[in-house]
Amino acid sequence: MSHRFQGKKAVITGAATGMGYDIARRLGMEGASLALLDVNEAALLNAAQALSAHGIVVKAYQLDVSNPQAVSNTFSKLIEEFSGVLDILINNAGIADFGSVETTEPETWNSVMSVNVNGTYLCAKLALPAMKQRGGTIINFGSIAGMVGIPNMAAYCTSKAAVIGLTKQMAVDYSKLGIRVNCICPGMIADTDMGRQILATDESEDMMIKRLSKYPIGRFGKPEEIVAVVLFLASDEASFICGSTFTVDGGMTAL
């Protein structure tokens, strides 16, 4: 096992389960100390326990990333715990919902934008001051849904396009301070809560086959195929990569 993140201090949002948890585990196994953030307190405590059992240094903080005051309070605490220094922020927390522009109610629109866009902005805003001392890296979760239109996902597509835009803007402002900001855009990853949520909207076998037919590689992605790219982007091996959007989608957006 290489130790690319020895001595690094990392914050991961949406860290209790799924890809967020996998990213946290991999960062921790390669030497990082972790702050796990998640809205689901019970799952978060389980995750922290499991990672501690691997010998990983970990603290857990229940947080709704869309709540500005809560984000501010949580980052104050975790940055103090990290002695004022932060190296890595993984903005993984996100939600999906469904509807065309006509059928999406403002409440749904606002909740998707609040978590996916405001949450990314707020966590970055609070993390950046603690990254300036020795440089750092931020990985935002976009999606292919921010690059092409996905049927019936107006709010989600809009939110992910905003995250791609925010990534480029932040890279322009902060690269000169040694802070690299990049974005990963996964295609359909079936074995995640969000993947299952989206696939459950396919009302027939035909719809599922049509969705799969958009993927030239002939299958959906696996969580570890996203996690590997996130780890690379967070590592010093990616030292010249700033403001980039990494599509990891089995060729879906090339079709």
* Shorter beta-carbon distance to ligand 1HS: residue 23 or 35: 23
Which has the closest alpha carbon to 188: 153, 137, 164, 163? 153
Among the candidate windows 13-21, 44-52, 127-135, 138-146, which touches ligand 1HS by CB under 6 A?
138-146
Is 147 an interacting residue with respect to ligand 1HS (CB under 6 A)? no
Stretch that binds ligand 1HS, among 27-35, 59-67, 130-138, 142-150 (CB under 6 A): 142-150
Q: Report if residue 145 touches ligand 1HS, rule: CB under 6 A.
A: yes
- Is residue 21 part of the annotated active site? The answer reads no
Residues 6+ apart with CB under 8 A from 214: 252, 255
Instruction: With CA atoms as reference, report the closest residue to 8 among 64, 102, 82.
Output: 82
Q: Does 91 bind ligand 1HS (CB under 6 A)?
A: no
Question: Using the rule CB under 6 A, is 11 a contact of ligand 1HS?
Answer: no
For position 223 contacting ligand 1HS by CB under 6 A, the verdict is no
Please identify which residue in 28, 187, 223, 250 interacts with ligand 1HS, judged by CB under 6 A. 187
Beta bridge partners of 141: 184
Which one of 211, 226, 227, 247 is in contact with ligand 1HS (CB under 6 A)?
A: 211
3-state secondary structure (DSSP) of residue 107: helix
Strands lying side by side in the sheet with 33-38: 58-62, 33-38, 9-13, 88-91, 136-141, 179-186, 245-248
Could you give the CA distance from residue 239 to residue 241 in angstroms, rounded to a whole number?
A: 6
Closest separation between CB of residue 162 and ligand 1HS, Å? 14
144 binds ligand 1HS (CB under 6 A): yes
| Contacting residues for 246 by C-beta, under 8 A, at least 6 apart | 182, 183, 184, 185, 229, 233
For residue 229, state whether it binds ligand 1HS (rule: CB under 6 A): no
Residue 140 lies near ligand 1HS (rule: CB under 6 A): no
Which residues in 185-201 are b (16+ Cβ under 10 Å) and which e? bbbbbeebebbeebeee
Instruction: Provide CB contacts within 8 A for 198, sequence distance 6+.
Output: 96, 188
Residue 194 binds ligand 1HS (CB under 6 A):
yes
Smallest distance, ligand 1HS to C-beta of residue 231, A = 19
By annotation, the residues acting in catalysis are: 156
Binding interface with ligand 1HS (CB under 6 A):
143-145, 150, 186-188, 194, 198, 211, 214, 252
